[in-house]
Amino acid sequence: MFAPKLRFGLTRLSSSLALPRSSPLPTLCSLSSSSHLSSSLPFRPPLCSLSPPSTPSHCTFSTVASPATDTDDAPPKASRHMVVNHAAAYNESMSGKHGENLGLLEGEKDQVLAGSPLAPNFAVLELSGSQFKVSTGDVLTTEKLKPVHKYFVGAEIEMTDNIVLCGDKEHTLVGMPRVSNASVKVRIEEITRDATIVVFKKRRRKNSRTKNGHRAEKTMLRVLDIKFEL
């Protein structure tokens, strides 16, 4: 008696899920328009049908060859970066929204600016595996820079190989991956050690515990000047 009941139950379950032969198979459009689906869920086309994004009109790409020194026998390497014109992007967005009132809004924008003026240029440096956004006059603390005979206290160094981004209020140069026609001049202010970090370990039921501490070496830099060319 057990086997026929099981077969009967499976037969009823399969027949309830089966579609009638006269009705066509459901499509994606019919499922999206059917009443048993939530109307709050929007229809999303497959990713393969989406067209790739186009380059904005205010972005330009340029390739710059890094100058070769007298000691280098290899040809100069080409560096690629992107230039973003913020003034064009701002005017384009504002003209589309406000139209004729653009000149009036520009005058009001200049009047509401308050406080001390910021540094005209900024840059993003990559030092010791970290990135720092700096401007003229900033002081940053990073891991100890080596070799010591190059990065000593009082030394003024011009960094050109580790700039990933730089610009001002109107343009931004995005390195791909570095910006070659830019330089950041820094001065080594201090070489010191950080606060003590205590490392405590205890092993339960072993009567074993250790307590050690160490101080990481740090280098303090002051940004003197930031230069770049479009």
Of 163, 106, 169, nearest to 134 by C-alpha is 163
- The whole-number pLDDT of residue 52 equals 46
- The whole-number pLDDT of residue 208 equals 97
CA 87-89-92 angle, 5° bins:
105
Chain centroid to CA 223: how far? 23
pLDDT tens-place values along the chain, 230 residues long: 455 554 544 444 444 455 555 555 555 555 544 445 445 555 555 554 444 455 555 566 666 655 555 555 555 555 677 787 766 666 666 566 565 665 665 555 555 555 556 778 999 999 999 999 999 999 999 999 999 999 999 999 999 999 999 998 888 899 888 998 899 999 999 999 999 999 999 999 999 999 999 999 999 999 999 999 87
Of 106, 229, 129, 104, nearest to 171 by C-alpha is 229
CA 103-105-111 angle, 5° bins:
110
Token output for 63: 């390739």
DSSP string, 124-181: EEEETTEEEEEETT-EEEEEPPS-TTTS-TT-EEEE-SSEEEEE-SSEEEEEES--SS
- The whole-number pLDDT of residue 50 equals 45
In a 13 Å sphere around the CA of 217, the CA atoms on its Cβ side amount to 6
For 17-56, what is each residue's pLDDT tens digit? Answer: 555 555 555 555 555 444 454 455 555 555 544 444 555 5
| pTM score, whole prediction | 0.57
Distance CA 40, CA 63 (A): 47
